[in-house]
Amino acid sequence: MKLAFHLGRVYTLSLAEILSVLTRRGVEYEITGLFTEILIIKTNQVLDVQSLQKRLGGTVKIMRVADELTKKLPDDYVNFTLKKYLTPQNLKKLLTEYKGKVQFGVSLYPLSYKVNLRNQNKNVGMDIKHLLQENGVSSRLVLPEGNSLALPSVAVTNNHLLEKGAEIDLLVSETKIYIAKTLTVQDFSDYGRRDYQRPIRDSRVGMLPPKVAQIMINLAQYEPDEKNKGGYILDPFVGSGTVLQEAMLIGFKVLGSDISQKAVNDAEKNLDWFRTRYKLPPHKFELEVADVGKISKAFPDKKPLAIITEGTLGPTYAKEPNESEMAKNFEELSKVYLSAFKEFKKILPKGRTVVMALPAYRVRKGYISFPVVDKILKLGYDIQDPISQETVTKYGFLKVTPRKSIIYDRKDQIVVREIIIFKVK
């Protein structure tokens, strides 16, 4: 089978997560297509896409590739190439059987910077609508708004496309068109609930989005299975508890600590709410007030599988700080991070993982990264490639930094997150 994944906004991070989860689950696959929004894989294994969609924080949609067509010319319009393909028999492969008025949408995804798909959704959609009409089928066409080429998950969900028809996806390269059908979409309402409905939200200390926390957990490549029974995910900068709630939802037991009593109290309220809201079993989390520099004494009888955390990011800024201010912040934070990684070595055996979001600064010429990483490596750590070097080299648009990290940021941020996977040597 061929599956396509609609990657999130920070597509390199989304890709790293998908490949980590597939690898951890023992899925043998081949990448047959990749661009900034789309990953296409071929596998001989049958995958539970519903379960996979819930596990992936960075994937917007999962699609099944039904067919592929060869374009005669690179600049051919999509509807021109599809002309002979669009038959009642082929449409049956794409549309869900529904007795009422069929609801369907058309999304286009370029697989190359050279592919221009502007204003082509409507032409394809109307061709399909006319074909359905000729065969006595009443239908409603849903198209992306404005200049967008693809429908967002909210439009697919709110228009009930998967239940009452289909979202038809056309993945277009210079030479081919992959014809796909959306199987699942990200549950945007549930992510909103996990973020905004928690009892305690404190924007002053920064808040890791649940999707990013989920991605970081997946990058560690552990499963809450019998082999790991008794193992825990540890977050020693627990904050409001976002990492721990996402780990609990996956099925892990969790440990959290923070030097701030308020943070621990907030995390406890949030996790109690979360456990009740999602009907999770009791005894899933333990929290302590503890300095990260003494974390080995906080849970003396517990052995974490991995440490997943967003460390202290330092001051926030509305505009770019000067170099001396950034250097001063890094110097002060270095003491905390070096103390933390010395302690991590005491509780993590060789080969175990620390997935951490470190502070970096967005400046006019790019990013300024936290120089403490070189010192951390000297304590006995390696950095794991989030995506294989072979893949990064083959697809030059992937944004993995020279030190094997991935930046997660938004346009309005000066202080950004640099996500790194450390391995204990």
Whether the pLDDT of residue 59 is over 80: the answer is yes
pLDDT, residue 201, reads 83
Q: What is the mean pLDDT of the chain?
A: 94
pLDDT tens profile 362-404: 999 899 999 999 999 999 999 999 999 999 999 999 999 999 9
pLDDT given at position 282: 85
Q: Classify 85 as helix, strand or coil.
A: coil
pLDDT value of residue 207: 82
Query: Are the beta carbons of 101 and 139 closer than 8 angstroms?
Result: yes
End-to-end CA gap in the chain: 38
Q: Which tens digits make up the pLDDT trace of 213-258?
A: 999 999 999 988 656 555 799 999 999 999 999 999 999 999 999 9
Residue 113 has phi, psi (to 5 degrees) of -65, -20
Residue 107 contacts residue 124 (beta carbons within 8 Å): no
pLDDT band at 203 (very low <50, low <70, confident <90, very high): low
Cβ-in-10-Å burial (0-12, 13-18, 19+) of 147 comes to: exposed
* E strand intervals along 242-283: 253-258
**Closest C-alpha to 374, from 399, 325, 338, 328:** 338
pLDDT in tens, 12-24: 999 999 999 999 9
What are the structural domains of the chain?
Answer: 2-186 (3.30.2130.30), 190-424 (3.40.50.150)
Write the CB contacts of 196 (distance below 8 Å, at least 6 apart in sequence): none
pLDDT digits (tens, 9 = 90+) for 60-71: 999 999 999 999
pLDDT of residue 227: 61
Each residue's pLDDT tens digit, 117-145: 998 999 999 999 999 999 999 999 999 99
Nearest to 423 by CA among 370, 380, 372, 389: 380
Q: Which two tokens stand for residue 93?
A: 């492969």
pTM of the entire structure? 0.96
pLDDT band at 202 (very low <50, low <70, confident <90, very high): confident
Average pLDDT over residues 149-153: 96
DSSP code of 280?
P
The amino acid sitting at 4 is A
